Amino acid sequence: MSIALNMAASKSIIADLNHGDKLSEKNYDVWHRKIEYLLEEQEMLETITQPMVEPEQGNTAQHKLDMEAYQTYKRKDRIARILMLSSMRNDIMLCFGRHRSTQYVWDAVKIQYGGTSTTRLRQLILKLIVIRSAKIRQ
Which residue ranges make up each domain of the chain?
2-137
- Name the residue among 129, 98, 123, 97 with its Cα closest to residue 26: 123
The pLDDT assigned to 118 comes to 64
Give Cβ neighbours of residue 7 (< 8 Å, ≥ 6 apart).
none
Kindly report the number of other CB atoms within 10 A of residue 59's CB atom.
6
CB 17 within 8 A of CB 38: yes
The pLDDT assigned to 82 comes to 94
Average pLDDT score, the chain: 84
- Per residue in 19-65, pLDDT (tens digit) is 667 998 888 888 999 999 999 999 999 999 998 999 999 999 999 99
Query: What is the distance, to the nearest Å, from the Cα of residue 46 to the centroid of all Cα atoms in its chain?
Result: 12
Mean pLDDT of 14-21: 66
pTM of the model: 0.72
